[in-house]
Amino acid sequence: MTTSEAGDREPGAGGDDYQPDPHRWRALWVTLVAGFMSLLDVTIVAVALPTIQDDLHATPAQVQWVVSGYSLTFALALVTAGRLGDALDRRRIFLLALCGFVVFSAACGAAPTIMLLVVARLAQGLAAGFMAPQNSALIQQLFRGAERGRAFGYFGATVGISSASGPIIGGTILALAGDEAGWRWVFYVNVPIGILAVLLGRRLLPRTRRSGRGHVDVPGVLLLGLGVFAFMYPLVQAESGGLSRLWWMFPVGALVLTLFVRRQRRLVARGTQPLLDPRLFTTVRGYAVGAGVGTLYFLGFSGVWLVFALFYQHGLDFSPLRSGLAVTPFALGSAGAAVVSGRLVDRFGRLLTVWGLAGVLVGLGSTALLLRFAPLDIAPWIAAPALFIGGVGGGFVVSPNITMTLRDVPVRMAGAAGGALQTGQRLGAAVGTAALPGLFYLVLGTTDDYRVALGVALGAALTTMLTSLALATSDWWRDRRSRSPHRKCPDEVANSPVHARQN
């Protein structure tokens, strides 16, 4: 057995003794900084879109690609990148992807035309997609036991905070850099931070090379890529009527993904390593439910920030900075709760997610009512406490759900599992960012009332979160009723007969 293979196994599997890496916490912070940048770039651009459109003389459909194109290539890369990390070298793939992310961020900032900006954003999203699944896989590799729960807590906090703080950071950068070309610094800010992360990563990240171990299912890569593309492309084209013109791509995507699943099952039956092992969803405790909860939550959560930006900037004539500050209470509540929840997840389990989703529903529901009926001159101020409650709830959703979804995944499958989890979240986010602003504009065109449009869009987001709450509650109740002392731990999962052929 090679050193890298031994280090990739759970403690107790075949007599392996886990030796903690002395640099593991510093290595974690390097990956979290990189992960924060890649996820922040999903939402930070939202407040800069009007400025980008004016400066580059772009159409609404073109400028929408600056956001949706990034999400598209991000989602396309995730599972393949995770499998490559599992089969080859997580450290090398992470550092190469991070270097690409820095280069393409600089290219975005320097883009002289909207077309070159879109191309650079597509490349930037691809680099982010290759980087993201290595984060969760490295946590699986570096940490065990209670430390793993804490590390996933910080990782989940990074996911939640980066998404919620994008409008705030973007608005601040625009205010400091100026109105005309200030949007370029939304991308340039990644460059010095990314260079520092590369230098520290080369020093601190563990080597995980596995030369010659396993293979990558190329036909599976193509099938999965085509399936995800078929689902996401009509959504990224929604602003220009893509949903009505390209609706046929949804059933095509469903068919292609069905073929992908059948192929993965055949590979498992033959004892060959698949791109994405279907047994993740059937034998690893909490993975299937966690993936569903995360997808539904991000479906409602991600589009909310674009709707708030539209309401505050166009409906109330707020500046980008003031628009971002208006949703700051959510980010503050989410940041504090996410860090705390990482320490509580072992004690409360899925119940923590149930509490969090209930808090999000109460907070955002109250915000929608206040912004709809309170006097406009004070509505954003009195909605702040409600947003804070929603943020606290959000902090108890993302971090615990990621922890509970991935903590029982064997390390050898960690990259693909993390990639699949984030693919579901990106698909949910893509649907939300296309559907909620579209619904907002649809209602606005009918009523010419920004408050009504906001209320309807937030109502749709809350409906998806309510579905996520129902799924989490049913899982918590089922676990409570069937709780036994024989619950499988990661070691048992790694050594169970259903996983034996992977070794």
**The predicted structure's pLDDT at residue 502:** 43
Could you tell me if residue 451 is inside a domain? yes
Are residues 397 and 297 in contact, defined by beta-carbon separation less than 8 angstroms? yes
Which residues, at least 6 apart from 470, have a Cβ–Cβ distance to it below 8 Å? Answer: none
Could you tell me if residue 9 is inside a domain? no
Could you tell me if residue 3 is inside a domain? no
| Domain total in the chain | 1
- What would the mean pLDDT of 83-107 be, rounded to a whole number? 89
**HSE, side-chain direction, 13 A CA sphere, residue 455:** 12
Which residues, at least 6 apart from 168, have a Cβ–Cβ distance to it below 8 Å? Answer: 324, 325, 327, 328, 331
Closest CA to 109 of 28, 44, 24, 168: 44
Structural domain of residue 217, as residue ranges?
21-500
Could you tell me if residue 245 is inside a domain? yes
Closest CA to 122 of 81, 163, 65: 65
**The predicted structure's pLDDT at residue 332:** 83
Could you tell me if residue 63 is inside a domain? yes
Could you tell me if residue 14 is inside a domain? no
Could you tell me if residue 130 is inside a domain? yes
Confidence band (pLDDT; 50, 70, 90) for 498?
very low
Question: pLDDT higher for 367 or 152?
Answer: 367
Confidence band (pLDDT; 50, 70, 90) for 494?
very low
Confidence band (pLDDT; 50, 70, 90) for 466?
very high
The packing angle between helices 350-373 and 287-310, to 10°, is 20
Residues 290 and 350: their CA atoms lie apart, in Å, by 9
30-34, 73-77, 369-373, 452-456, range with the lowest pLDDT? 73-77
**The predicted structure's pLDDT at residue 47:** 75
Residue spans of alpha helices (H) in 270-319: 279-283, 287-310
- What would the mean pLDDT of 266-281 be, rounded to a whole number? 82
Centre a 10 Å sphere on the Cβ of residue 43 and count the other Cβ atoms it contains.
24
Question: pLDDT higher for 219 or 21?
Answer: 219
**The predicted structure's pLDDT at residue 499:** 46
Angle (CA) 476-145-402 rounded to 5° is 45
158: left (phi over 0), alpha (psi -120 to 50) or beta: alpha
Ranges of beta strands (E only) in 459-501 are none
Determine the straight-line distance between the first and last CA of the chain, rounded to whole angstroms: 12
Per residue in 106-122, pLDDT (tens digit) is: 999 999 999 999 999 99
Tokens 């077309």: give the residue: 115
How far are the Cα atoms of 6, 126, 337 from residue 274, in angstroms, in the given order? Answer: 21, 22, 37
Q: Does residue 500 have a pLDDT over 60?
A: no
- What would the mean pLDDT of 380-407 be, rounded to a whole number? 87
**The predicted structure's pLDDT at residue 489:** 46
DSSP string, 46-90: GGGHHHHHHHTT--HHHHHHHHHHHHHHHHHHHHHHHHHHHHTTH
Confidence band (pLDDT; 50, 70, 90) for 210?
low
The two structure tokens encoding residue 251: 């059933």
The two structure tokens encoding residue 377: 């001159």
Give residue 325's identity as a one-letter amino acid code. L
User: Domain with 106 in it: what CATH number?
Assistant: 1.20.1250.20
Q: Does residue 372 have a pLDDT over 60?
A: yes
Are residues 437 and 307 in contact, defined by beta-carbon separation less than 8 angstroms? yes
Q: Does residue 362 have a pLDDT over 90?
A: yes
**The predicted structure's pLDDT at residue 48:** 82
Give residue 84's identity as a one-letter amino acid code. L
Could you tell me if residue 11 is inside a domain? no
pLDDT, averaged across the chain: 81
- What would the mean pLDDT of 51-69 be, rounded to a whole number? 83
**HSE, side-chain direction, 13 A CA sphere, residue 16:** 20
User: What is the share, in percent, of the chain residues with pLDDT greater than 90?
Assistant: 22
Q: Does residue 354 have a pLDDT over 60?
A: yes
**The predicted structure's pLDDT at residue 313:** 83
